[in-house]
């Protein structure tokens, strides 16, 4: 009888351990997580990186500045059909993750992105736009862009640079 109880306890702990592993792998691609930020100056030049950005852009669009307070400039050589800006939460758990190997343009559905978006834009002939961020609270956001039927995204921060540095250092 004791052996059966010990066996059941061991199986229980192994099962719980495996469930945690599954949840961790799912969280790596959570639509609400920002695991890092690219710092972009007012001229569109990358000046640094904080954390390990979980972004998929493949040079399909550019944006600046990041962080931003009022205006985000976004442009692409290709036509942009949709833009969504969703609030997000910072997460330091995946600093060693190779996001290039797990992120792809089909990872999130349009419905999933749109359901949490605070700002949305649609125009089939859009190649550049100045987005007014004045209605957004300070914090992390994910900018999703649909170009040629594929979805790409970047992480942004609305607020002061010092707030970012204090968190990621």
* Tens of each residue's pLDDT in the chain, 169 residues: 555 554 444 444 444 444 433 344 458 899 999 999 999 999 999 999 999 999 999 999 999 999 999 999 999 999 999 999 999 999 999 999 999 999 999 999 999 999 999 999 987 677 889 999 999 999 999 999 999 999 999 999 999 999 888 898 8
Q: Is 24 in the same domain as 55?
A: no
Q: What's the structural domain count of the chain?
A: 2
Torsion-angle region of residue 97: left (phi > 0), alpha (psi -120 to 50) or beta? beta
> Rounded to two decimals, what is the model's pTM?
0.83
The enclosing domain of 105 has a CATH number of 2.60.40.3080
Q: Is 87 in the same domain as 74?
A: yes
Q: Is 17 in the same domain as 67?
A: no
Instruction: Provide the residue range defining the domain that includes 137.
Output: 31-168
Q: Is 6 in the same domain as 49?
A: no
Query: In whole angstroms, how large is the CA radius of gyration of the chain?
Result: 19
Cis amide linkage into residue 139, ω under 30° from 0: no
Q: Is 39 in the same domain as 7?
A: no
Q: Is 105 in the same domain as 42?
A: yes
Q: Is 102 in the same domain as 163?
A: yes
Q: Is 1 in the same domain as 74?
A: no
Backbone angles phi, psi at 147, to 5 degrees: -130, 125
Give the residue ranges of DSSP H helices in 28-169: 110-115, 161-168
Q: Is 20 in the same domain as 71?
A: no
CA 125 to chain centre: 25
DSSP H or E stretch at residue 80: strand 71-90
Q: Is 105 in the same domain as 59?
A: yes
């Amino acid at each position: 009888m004791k052996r059966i109880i010990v066996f059941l306890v061991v199986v229980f702990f192994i099962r719980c351990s495996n469930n945690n592993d599954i949840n961790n792998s799912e969280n790596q691609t959570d639509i609400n997580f920002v695991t890092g930020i690219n710092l972009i100056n007012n001229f569109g030049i990358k000046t640094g990186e904080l954390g390990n950005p979980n972004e998929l852009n493949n040079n399909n669009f550019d944006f600046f500045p990041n962080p931003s307070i009022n205006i985000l400039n976004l442009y692409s050589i290709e036509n942009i059909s949709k833009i969504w800006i969703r609030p997000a939460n910072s997460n330091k758990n995946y600093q060693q993750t190779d996001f290039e190997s797990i992120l792809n343009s089909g990872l999130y559905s349009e419905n999933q992105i749109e359901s949490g978006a605070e700002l949305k834009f649609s125009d089939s002939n859009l190649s550049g736009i100045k987005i007014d961020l004045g209605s957004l609270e300070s914090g992390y956001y994910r900018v999703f862009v649909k170009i040629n039927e594929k979805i790409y995204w970047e992480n942004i921060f609305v607020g002061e640079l010092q707030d970012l540095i204090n968190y990621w250092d």
